[in-house]
């Protein structure tokens, strides 16, 4: 399918997305019918990984049953089918992300892989001693450590945009941090620990006005918001397939063609070369240059099904439904005796982090699990956020469009019992 055809199919899918019906949507996810400890599963760990609709499960199994072959290599029927399926997802992903060209979409293992690729191939070779990389106080470890590694090797420095007690970034301080030495800005779109939706378009503009390249970590945004990298104006945007209802081990890196072309490969191997001799090798064009070895073909096919599924539900409908659900959840969870919310941002999506007086978050998680409620506890791979609040961990409920108010009520009841028993 051409990009124009993909685009119009996507538009048709989004238009066809009728009134949002959560019960109908829930039936698409077989795992949501599971019982845990004799209770119906209440899955509120979507920020860690989202559940998969039958359409994704079927796409992966249909691929293995009918199309499985290696891609870009064979002239035989199956290899051509597999290659077509894989490249077709690239065009769908391009439209999904709002990228200008399909070659600006690199298939990766996930957000971590995407950020490491950019840190290794774009930033590291361009850093000199005294240069700076700017991140924020609420980043996931995946958007801290790769920059730290690059800075450490080159004698460069990591600078951190501070945040308020509410869990919002300080935009004046951000502007003051940017200077001639800033070689990269890398910011999370939505915080996985606090749920803060950052004013990312404004923050991208501030950096771009100064000629600084920007990477956006969209791991927590892709399942909740409409992503449009052209409108955002960022240079790189990273997402994880498994958080947007696709298979694990898949992800997308959007990179501006000009920058991807100027970058050296991340890994060497098959499929990323043009010619190889013992003296020297030349590299394939983008995006193949960044996709060494046999990729996760079945996973990419499943990711394509996840994209189609999200569009068929309608991203605007998802955002509207989730925003009402989250408002309900924030009030209900915050109203439980002994609960303190961690982070109270004005713009929030997907996540509510909290503490219960007198009980370790791990114990809260274990007790609510007895009631069939799955939440995550710990530092959420955002230790600096925990340090900022002077705590070791939080309990975190994270939501997807298939969650309901009744499920929020189940969590609240389980938290109430926990408080009665141990609070
Ligand atoms: N956060 C969570 O429970 P990977 O593991 O590569 O798919 O995604 C890493 C990542 C990067 N950025 C953000 C903002 C994230 O939330 C995550 C993953 C999970 O919050 C697992 S720690």
Ligand 1 centroid from CA 139, angstroms: 10
pLDDT digit string (tens) for 78-114? Answer: 999 999 999 999 999 999 999 999 999 999 999 999 9
Sequential DSSP letters for 328-392: HHHHHHHTSTTEEES---SSB-SEEEEEETTB-HHHHHHHHHHTTEE-EEE-TT-HHHHHHHT-S
Residue with tokens 């420095």: 157
Atom of ligand 1 lying closest to residue 45 CA: 3
The answer to whether 301 touches 89, Cβ cutoff 8 Å, is: yes
pLDDT digit string (tens) for 212-236? Answer: 999 999 999 999 999 999 999 999 9
- Around ligand 1, the residues with Cβ closer than 6 Å are 47-48, 110-112, 140, 142-143, 188, 192, 217, 219-220, 240, 376, 380-381
The H helix count followed by the E strand count for the chain is: 15, 17
- In this predicted structure, what is the pLDDT of residue 73? 83
Ligand 1 centroid from CA 276, angstroms: 36
Given a cut of 50, the residues of the chain with pLDDT beneath it are none
Where in the sequence numbering do the catalytic residues fall?
381
Strand, helix or coil for residue 22: helix
What class does CATH assign to 315-422? alpha beta
For the chain, the structural domain boundaries read: 64-311, 315-422
The preferred substitution site among 217, 243, 381, 394 for testing ligand 1, maximizing ligand atoms within 8 Å of CB, is: 381
Ligand 1 centroid from CA 140, angstroms: 7
Closest CA to 330 of 318, 342, 338: 342
Q: What pTM was computed for the model?
A: 0.96
How far apart CA 119 and CA 351 sit, in angstroms, is 27
- In this predicted structure, what is the pLDDT of residue 17? 56
- In this predicted structure, what is the pLDDT of residue 1? 66
- In this predicted structure, what is the pLDDT of residue 170? 98
What class does CATH assign to 64-311? alpha beta
Question: CATH topology of 64-311 equal to that of 315-422?
Answer: no
Ligand 1 centroid from CA 354, angstroms: 19
């Amino acid at each position: 399918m051409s990009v124009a055809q993909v685009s119009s199919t996507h538009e048709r899918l989004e238009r066809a997305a009728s009134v949002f019906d959560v019960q109908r949507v829930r039936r698409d996810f077989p795992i949501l019918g599971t019982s845990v400890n004799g209770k119906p599963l209440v899955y509120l760990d979507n920020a860690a990984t989202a559940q998969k609709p039958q359409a994704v499960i079927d796409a992966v199994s249909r691929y293995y049953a009918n199309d499985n072959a290696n891609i870009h290599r064979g002239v035989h029927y199956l290899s051509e089918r597999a290659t077509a399926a894989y490249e077709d997802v690239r065009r769908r992903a391009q439209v999904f992300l709002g990228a200008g060209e399909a070659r600006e979409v690199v298939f990766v293992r996930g957000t971590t892989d995407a950020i490491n690729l950019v840190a290794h191939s774009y930033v590291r070779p361009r850093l000199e001693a005294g240069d700076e990389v700017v991140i924020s106080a609420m980043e996931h470890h995946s958007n801290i450590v790769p920059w730290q590694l690059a800075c450490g090797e080159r004698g460069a420095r990591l600078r951190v945009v501070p945040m308020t007690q509410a869990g919002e970034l300080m935009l004046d301080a951000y502007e003051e941090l940017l200077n001639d030495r800033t070689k990269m800005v890398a910011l999370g779109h939505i915080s996985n620990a606090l749920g803060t939706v950052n004013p990312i378009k404004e923050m991208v503009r501030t950096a771009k006005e100064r000629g600084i390249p920007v990477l956006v970590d969209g791991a927590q945004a892709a399942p909740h918001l409409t992503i449009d990298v052209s409108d955002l104006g960022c240079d790189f945007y990273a997402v994880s397939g498994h958080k947007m209802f696709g298979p694990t081990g898949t992800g997308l890196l959007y990179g501006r063609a000009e920058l991807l072309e100027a970058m050296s490969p991340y890994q060497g191997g098959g499929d990323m070369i043009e010619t190889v001799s013992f003296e020297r090798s030349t590299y394939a064009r983008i995006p193949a240059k960044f996709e060494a070895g046999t990729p996760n073909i079945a996973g990419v096919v499943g990711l394509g099904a996840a994209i189609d599924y999200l569009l068929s539900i309608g991203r605007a409908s998802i955002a509207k439904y989730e925003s009402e659900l989250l408002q309900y959840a924030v009030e209900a969870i915050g109203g439980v005796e002994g609960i303190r919310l961690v982070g109270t941002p004005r713009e929030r999506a997907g996540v509510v982090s909290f503490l219960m007086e007198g009980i370790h978050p791990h114990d809260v998680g274990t007790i609510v699990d007895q009631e069939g409620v799955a939440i995550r506890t710990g530092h959420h791979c955002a230790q600096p956020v925990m340090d900022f609040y002077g705590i070791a961990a939080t309990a975190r409920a994270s939501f997807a469009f298939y969650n309901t108010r009744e499920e929020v009520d189940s969590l609240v009841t389980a938290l109430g019992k926990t408080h009665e028993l141990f609070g």
